[in-house]
Amino acid sequence: MIEIQHHYQLKEHNTFGISAFAKAYIPINSLQQLREAITYFQDQEIFILGGGSNMLLINDMERPVVHVQIKGIEIIEQKNGNVLLNVMAGENWHDLVLYCIQNNFAGIENLALIPGNTGTAPIQNIGAYGVELKDVFHSCQVMEITTGELHTLSNADCKFGYRDSIFKNEALGKYVITSISLELKDLNQPQDYKLKTNYGAIQEEMNQLPESDSIATVAQAVINIRTNKLPDPKVIGNSGSFFKNPIILRSTYDDLVRMHPHMPSYEVDKTRVKVPAAWLIDQSGFKGKRYGDAGVHDKQALVLVNHGKATGREILEVAKKIQEAVQLRFGIAIETEVNLIEN
């Protein structure tokens, strides 16, 4: 049976710590409860809530909020040096990374300390330090909202891109992700697994650690870097990186770098480069800036923060100021990575 709570405070269920109320809130702990909830609200558009880590609530929620908290991790298959892992949508992502390290399963150690739950990871195709979810993603199980039927979508079906997937485009609002399956390397079996340490400051941080190189060391290096650069949502409200790193033509970059010689970049392919949005925002003078309780983190310009009582609308206004300033100075449009949720 489902339990429906009315005028429910969502402040504890979004990492920005925005005070917003749901007209109706339904916690979900099983597939049966999920099916009951979507049947009960079949004539209404529902909002699917996961870990609340990649969203900004602009105002109160008029839509019923269905909070997916289904737990469970299962090893489906282990052979030929690989392990296929099935993880229910309500599992915390970082806890999953730690589980894999403890079991010597490799592939997601670079994605340590990313906030949120596994069920929302495919939506954004989460990524960090040279690794994206799509690199290890096998498939996911989804429930169709209009029918309650379960389907399996493959890696190809999900049409992953940079912080993008089918779930943000043609399948938006069509499915609830109920579990994901990852194909990882099983280091309990002898094999040549190459650690990914050439992105950012991972290798430099690893050199400071007493342990020998391993997936655990990579994860610890990432944790140290992220802890140093990114604020803890339990201390100050935030949703991690608020903007995507823009990808621009190499020719455009070459023109810009003549005016801004220190502009960093990462090669995407022969014709495109990725420019760090944090650098663009910092150069535009926003790092550490505050507008009431809404502002920009003083150590990482890519992170917008709630100093206490900021509204979603106030955070959004800061984001718009940043976008306008970066566009004016560099001619580059930066897009939000965080999902903006209205009504």
Q: Which residues are catalytic?
A: 163, 241, 337
The DSSP H or E segment spanning 254 is helix 250-259
SS3 127: strand
CA–CA gap between residue 267 and residue 244 (Å, rounded): 15
Q: Nearest 5 degrees, angle CA 167-CA 3-CA 10?
A: 60
Q: Which candidate, 158, 154, 119, places its Cα nearest to that of 139?
A: 154
CA–CA gap between residue 218 and residue 111 (Å, rounded): 10
28-44 burial code (b ≥16 CB/10 A, e <16):
beebebbbbbbebbeee
Phi and psi, residue 90, nearest 5°: -85, 0
If you search the block for the tokens 């979004």, which residue do you land on? 14
Helices in 114-249 by DSSP H: which ranges? Answer: 121-124, 202-206, 215-229
DSSP state of 133: G
Q: Which candidate, 317, 104, 293, 289, places its Cα nearest to that of 215?
A: 104
Number of Cβ within 10 Å of residue 335's Cβ equals 11
Cα distances from 35 to residues 5, 47, 172, 175, 242, in angstroms, run: 17, 14, 18, 12, 32
DSSP state of 117: B
